[in-house]
Amino acid sequence: MQNHILSIILFTPLLGALVLLFVPKENKDAIRWIANLFSLGGFLISLPLVPMFWAQRFEPGFKFIEGSPSNWIPTIGAGYLIGIDGISFLLIMLTTLLGWISILSSWTAIENRVKEYYVWFLILQTGMLGVFMALDFFLFFVFWEAMLVPMYLLIGIWGGPRKLYAAIKFFLYTLAGSVLMLLGILFLYFHHHALTGIYTFSLTALYQTAPKIYSDPAYGPNIAILLFFAFFFAFAIKVPMFPFHTWLPDAHVEAPTAGSVILAGVLLKMGTYGFIRFSLPFFPDVLMHTRVRTWMIVLSLIAIIYGALVSLMQKDMKKLVAYSSVSHLGFCTLGIFALTPLGLSGSVLQQVNHGISTGALFLIVGILYERRHTREIAEYGGISNVMPVYATITMIMFLSSMGLPLLNGFVGEFTILQGTFMENWRWGAWAVPGVVLAAAYLLWLYQRVFFGTVTNPKNEKLHDLTPREVLTFVPLLIMAFWIGLYPKPFFQILEQPVNQIVANVRTPQSGGVVNAATQPDAAQAPIATTAAVIDAPTRVQPTKGTK
């Protein structure tokens, strides 16, 4: 159990999908029960990970490592190698939670092809978990591509009127990025072989060699920058960063509610996760010594403000929330490319927050859609008269999304902004209008949908939330308040990996080619120096109280 907990978490949804295959498709309720059971089980099984991880949160490196490099396809050096650190831990917990919630929320929303729906959803769940766990680049890429197909089908089969357009756009756009990433992976793979004589996709091995490309006279900075962009396109499309974001509104609008929740809550995080896990450690010099980083920051800032502005003008609720995602993810990428411990930890925290808040927002829109089959804002008004509980939950989630203190959004945004500001105050200053605009578009939406009197007779008979629907919100509300009121555990979980990544990026890489075959110890250097940089002279903790 202790040694295989990650594998168990990873494959529980897949097992559920297998079991579902043996249930006759006419028996819809049995299918729903089994799918819910397995998704809840997947969440519950991931809970023991929390205390286990908590006990070793300050230890460096990856934890719960399973498998070994090249035990899967030895001839090419691909292995089933999984493991987590604080960053992937939080994202895994988010995935299992959101997976359960979105499957629970689909109970009445999905009426046709029920069996296929749940099977694909559970497969998707395994794919996403695998992306966050993989420590082998080949395995990562397999999972990365594997979860593309279920999502494509979820949008394409159970989606709205323009589902085919949206699904194909999503698939092709994402695939285009992935192909470039594959090229990048192969380059790093052969480069590692050239230096060490070993064929491997293992991340920890590539961490040693990839940063050397920049200063290697055989390749040089330009090749490193090209490689950075090969990865950048894959991740930026996934995030999505401006100007690669237009697939997102279409996909969100057409996807079924649960699909949107997972899409916003987890899938987008793969892009940011990719930046943190791959782009930063692989190309430190590109980020530290070239203008690339400024471009990244500028794109993030554009996303923040531009996303909010576009969001302000939307007439479709789901599209509004989708563009707000662009804005929020702008904060996440801003925090990442600020390359400070605060920015990075705030960014991961904000990713979790965005999963919680925006996931809830999509559920909220989905509930109205299920009742009225329209998402046009103009169709609504005065909803808080007929659905008071719903209105209250919506208000809390809106506030969390716009970053009100004591709710989760604030903690992430504040940390990102502070981390960015300390790196360059102009970057922080440009991001702040996003906070104001967030309040504007969300409150305006709330006013138009919930305030006033019921003007549309079709809205008079709407019934308030059912217990099942309330249940889908309860965990999200608890998480929103928890992160808002007591974020310390989250900061402690993130502290070690974040400091390590920042130290890796900011430590000057050794110049010239290091032939690791002759100098095996040199390859270990960057990891070994991690702790020294940030920990060095910490400020003396002020004594508590002055009494």
Rule CB under 8 A: which of 408-437 touch another protein? Answer: 410-411, 414-415, 417-419, 421-422, 425, 428-429, 432-433, 435-437
Residue nearer to another protein on the CB measure, 138 or 414: 414
For residues 297-316, which are near another protein according to CB under 8 A? 306, 309-310, 312-314
For residues 527-546, which are near another protein according to CB under 8 A? 534-539, 541-542, 544-546
For residues 39-68, which are near another protein according to CB under 8 A? 58
Binding window for another protein (CB under 8 A); candidates: 72-80, 145-153, 490-498, 521-529: 490-498
Q: Is 510 in the site for another protein (CB under 8 A)?
A: no
Number of residues that bind another protein (CB under 8 A): 75
Q: How far is the CB of 414 from another protein (least distance, A)?
A: 7
- Let me know the angle formed at the C-alpha of 467 by 465 and 468, rounded to the nearest 5 degrees: 95
For residues 333-352, which are near another protein according to CB under 8 A? 340-342, 345
Residue nearer to another protein on the CB measure, 48 or 433: 433
Helices assigned H by DSSP within 373-424: 383-386, 388-401, 408-423
Q: Is 136 left (phi over 0), alpha (psi -120 to 50) or beta?
A: beta
Please choose, from the candidates 474, 475, 473, 468, the residue with its C-alpha nearest in 3D space to the C-alpha of residue 32.
468
For residues 374-403, which are near another protein according to CB under 8 A? 382, 384-385, 399
For residues 181-240, which are near another protein according to CB under 8 A? none
Residue nearer to another protein on the CB measure, 76 or 313: 313
Q: How far is the CB of 124 from another protein (least distance, A)?
A: 24
| Helix or strand run (H / E) with residue 93 | helix 86-105
| Distant-in-sequence, close-in-space partners of 368: CB < 8 Å, separation ≥ 6 | 317, 375, 380, 383, 449
Binding window for another protein (CB under 8 A); candidates: 208-216, 252-260, 268-276, 451-459: 451-459
Find the Cα–Cα–Cα–Cα dihedral 529, 511, 234, 130, rounded to 10°. Answer: -40
CB distance 321 to 358 below 8 Å: yes
Binding mask 277-296 for another protein (x = CB under 8 A): --------------------
Q: Is 482 in the site for another protein (CB under 8 A)?
A: no
User: How far is it, in rounded angstroms, from Cα 312 to Cα 434?
Assistant: 12
Residue nearer to another protein on the CB measure, 88 or 314: 314
Q: Is 461 in the site for another protein (CB under 8 A)?
A: no
Please choose, from the candidates 334, 398, 412, the residue with its C-alpha nearest in 3D space to the C-alpha of residue 363.
398
Q: Which of 288, 443, 470, 513 binds another protein (CB under 8 A)?
A: 443
Residue nearer to another protein on the CB measure, 47 or 429: 429
Q: Can you read off the two tokens belonging to residue 224?
A: 């490193």
Name the 3-class secondary structure at 305: helix
Taking residue 315's Cβ as centre, other Cβ atoms within 10 Å add up to 12
Q: How far is the CB of 541 from another protein (least distance, A)?
A: 6
CB distance 276 to 348 below 8 Å: yes
Q: Can you read off the two tokens belonging to residue 229?
A: 């962009």
Q: What are phi and psi of 82, to 5 degrees?
A: -125, 155
Burial of 383 (0-12, 13-18, 19+ CB in 10 A): buried
Q: How far is the CB of 44 from another protein (least distance, A)?
A: 27
- Let me know the angle formed at the C-alpha of 21 by 16 and 25, rounded to the nearest 5 degrees: 115
Q: Is 481 in the site for another protein (CB under 8 A)?
A: no
Q: How far is the CB of 537 from another protein (least distance, A)?
A: 7
Q: Is 444 in the site for another protein (CB under 8 A)?
A: yes
Q: Is 37 in the site for another protein (CB under 8 A)?
A: no
Burial of 425 (0-12, 13-18, 19+ CB in 10 A): exposed
User: How far is it, in rounded angstroms, from Cα 398 to Cα 51?
Assistant: 31
Q: How far is the CB of 462 from another protein (least distance, A)?
A: 17
Residue nearer to another protein on the CB measure, 110 or 505: 505
Q: How far is the CB of 190 from another protein (least distance, A)?
A: 30
For residues 121-150, which are near another protein according to CB under 8 A? none
| Distant-in-sequence, close-in-space partners of 230: CB < 8 Å, separation ≥ 6 | 180, 181, 183, 184, 187
Binding window for another protein (CB under 8 A); candidates: 73-81, 155-163, 186-194, 245-253: 245-253
Residue 347 CA, chain-centre distance (Å), reads 10
Q: Which of 44, 55, 194, 406 binds another protein (CB under 8 A)?
A: 406
Rg (C-alpha) for the chain, rounded Å, is 23
Strand (E) positions, 36-76? Answer: 63-66
Q: Which of 366, 487, 497, 526 binds another protein (CB under 8 A)?
A: 487
Q: Is 324 in the site for another protein (CB under 8 A)?
A: no
Q: Is 354 in the site for another protein (CB under 8 A)?
A: no
Residue nearer to another protein on the CB measure, 337 or 414: 414
Residue nearer to another protein on the CB measure, 196 or 492: 492
Residue nearer to another protein on the CB measure, 65 or 312: 312
For residues 62-121, which are near another protein according to CB under 8 A? none
DSSP count for the chain of H helices, then E strands? 26, 2
For residues 159-178, which are near another protein according to CB under 8 A? 169, 172-173
Please choose, from the candidates 382, 371, 228, 237, the residue with its C-alpha nearest in 3D space to the C-alpha of residue 303.
237
Q: Is 246 in the site for another protein (CB under 8 A)?
A: yes
